[in-house]
Amino acid sequence: MARPLWSGSLSFGLVNVPVQLVTAARDLDFHFHELHEKDNARIEQRRFCTKEDEEVTWEEVAHSYDLDGKQVVVTDDELGSVQPRKTRTIEVEAFVELADVEPIFFNHPYFLVPAGESEGTLRAYRLLVDAMGKSGRAALGRFVMRTKEYLAAVRVRDGALTLTTMLFEDEVRPSSAIPTGGKKPSKKEVDQAVTLIEELSTDWEPDRYEDCYRERLRRVIEDKRKRRKIEPPEPEKQPSATPDLMAALEATLANARAGRPIREEPSSNGDRSELERLNKDDLGERAKKAGIKGRTKMSKKELIEALSDG
Amino acid sequence: MAPRSIWNGTITFGLVNVPIKLYSATESKTVHFHEVHLRDGAQIEYRRFCSKEDKEVEYKDVVKGYEVSEGTYVVLEKDEVKAAAGDRGKVVHLTEFVPAAQIDPVFYEKTYYVGSGEAKDAYRLLHEALRRSGRAGIGRFTFHDREYLVAVRALDDVLALHTLRFHDEVVSGDELEIEPGSRRPSRQELQMADRLIDALQEDFDPSKYEDSYREAVLDLIKRKGKGEEIDLAEQEEPAHGDDLMAALEASLGSR
């Protein structure tokens, strides 16, 4: 299990459950280091005082805030003194319907696990899991971790208490200035669009989506290691706005029902300009259907060649 | 004043192309400090040093390397990192639609607002269809040379684009190995907990929760700015008893 990031207690009325916070998201990204080009040695960042032009250790560093042009310096101890009382507690302030919480507020997911194995702790933890698990509700509370206060939603996932930090209301920008506009669509258009959405609907199954970027970056690193040539692909052309919405909806619905790729143009017969608008994944899919050999090793250009010859 | 867009592109669903602009929907309000030298209050700056030569290095002589084994790096040029972005360009193809309520909160990463570009009618139609169906369109989105899995859904009068975590980036509860404990909570304890939850139940209202810590930090800065002495008070910890039933009863009794 991951290292605890925070220890304290979850407080629910007068029930206190000692808990530890562990992350529920793992970082699978490839991380790069800065290197000195000449000798491939690692780059180190060192702190320097801009006035004395001398290196400074972290013990000699303070925090400064620009208060209307005046620099106010505060120390770690002073910052520590304003941490709210009960800083080691997540106090449940209210229970809400999870479905009513707009996802824009969700920030980082964690799990809360019982701290220690005392019988009392385990039973209090289990009580919260049992009581909250069946209700579909989330507990809201606040806590301080490192130097920030968080609003958090606590609920049950996979038989454990999970905590998701949330943004405060003033950290979500209003959407009123975002341009929308357009004329109100006709009932017929909306019906057709909803029918299309339903035709293309499926359950949310997260396992179906892999991080292709991570995989491509892995391949780029591998190619570079083996001194193979790396060529950035040509980005897909920007499609132009649809002139006739109704016709486009009907053609897409026809494609979906016939099991064709949904972006296949009605007049399409391997026309080259149409192929050039597709991205490599779509071209690969077409090449597979057309039974083109060696398609997985082809570049986008070669795929277009092969498909328009066919 | 209209906010500034951070990305212009196209969302497609089938053969319908919707030109769009993306806007930041969130901003951190955490109080940010500069690092200064305690002795003279001068700004701290970071300088790059070669760990081998112990000499300062200019940024133009810095490259990015991936460590394949201890001390062995594969150096990638900027263009080579770009090659991993794929060929999607500035298009988000919504290839399928899922009930928005099925997406567990754990998957949501960052939210952007989607505004209309030209062809506003198409934007309005997509918004209305997503709103009525209660579904989110799933697609992929390339931003700053990185590809994301995204969900596009109706949020009030605009469309929202949420980047989503991939399934393998989410830790499951089975990996935690939580001790079950020898005694399950009694029925009576469960009923009491239920009553307590009911008593604390309310509608979700984000305006009720203010970042009191941020306020306290800003207040501290103001007091310090006036030259006030700061009292470094100790914190107290809550006690936790082992008598669950008594604690539940007391909680209900105090309401």
What are the tens digits of pLDDT across the range A187-209? 999 999 999 999 999 999 999 99
Q: Would you state the pLDDT for residue B229?
A: 84
Pick B150 or B81 by higher pLDDT.
B150
Q: Tell me which chain A residues have a C-beta less than 8 angstroms from the C-beta of B195.
A: none
Q: Tell me which chain A residues have a C-beta less than 8 angstroms from the C-beta of B97.
A: 197-198, 200-202
Does A180 sit within 8 Å of B123, measured CB to CB? yes
Taking residues B213-217, what's their average pLDDT?
A: 87
Return mean pLDDT, chain A: 88
User: Where does chain B show beta strands of DSSP type E?
Assistant: 7-13, 16-24, 34-37, 44-50, 55-56, 62-69, 72-76, 91-93, 96-99, 108-116, 135-143, 146-155, 158-164
3-class secondary-structure state, position A273 = helix
Q: Does B253 touch chain A (CB under 8 A)?
A: no
Radius of gyration of chain B (CA): 26
Please write the tens of the pLDDT for every residue from B143-196.
988 999 999 999 999 999 999 999 999 999 989 888 887 788 899 999 999 999
Disruptive mutation site among A42, A242, A278 for chain B (greatest number of B CBs within 10 Å): A242
Q: Would you state the pLDDT for residue A303?
A: 84
Please write the tens of the pLDDT for every residue from A8-47.
999 887 788 999 999 999 999 999 999 999 999 999 999 9
Nearest to A111 among B99, B158, B171 (CB): B171
Please write the tens of the pLDDT for every residue from A132-151.
887 778 999 998 887 678 89
Return mean pLDDT, chain B: 89
Q: Does A300 touch chain B (CB under 8 A)?
A: yes
Please write the tens of the pLDDT for every residue from B7-26.
999 999 999 999 999 999 99
DSSP A173: P
Taking residues A36-59, what's their average pLDDT?
A: 93
Please write the tens of the pLDDT for every residue from A112-137.
999 988 888 999 999 999 988 877 78
Please write the tens of the pLDDT for every residue from A235-282.
788 888 888 999 999 999 999 998 888 888 886 554 566 777 777 878
Q: Tell me which chain A residues have a C-beta less than 8 angstroms from the C-beta of B150.
A: none
For the entire predicted model, the pTM comes to 0.85
Interface of B with A in 180-239 (CB under 8 A): 180-185, 189-190, 193-194, 196-197, 200-204, 206-214, 216-217, 219-222, 224-225, 230-233, 235-239
Does A43 sit within 8 Å of B40, measured CB to CB? no
What stretch of H or E contains A17? strand A15-23
Instruction: Give residues with Cβ within 8 angstroms of A294, minimum separation 6.
Output: none
**DSSP secondary structure string for all residues of A37-99:** TTT-PBEEEEEEETTTTEE--GGGEEEEEEETTEEEEE-HHHHHHTSPSSTTEEEEEEEEEGG
ipTM metric: 0.87
Nearest Cα residue in chain A from B60: A37
Please write the tens of the pLDDT for every residue from B102-145.
999 999 999 999 999 988 999 999 999 999 999 999 999 999 88
Nearest to B50 among A43, A114, A233 (CB): A43
Q: Does A245 touch chain B (CB under 8 A)?
A: yes
**Residue B228 clears pLDDT 80, i.e. is over it:** yes
**Residue B91 clears pLDDT 80, i.e. is over it:** yes
Q: Would you state the pLDDT for residue A84?
A: 61
Q: Does A225 touch chain B (CB under 8 A)?
A: yes
- Select from A210, A212, A228 the least CA-distant residue to A220: A228
Nearest to A236 among B35, B88, B220 (CB): B88
Q: Would you state the pLDDT for residue B132?
A: 96
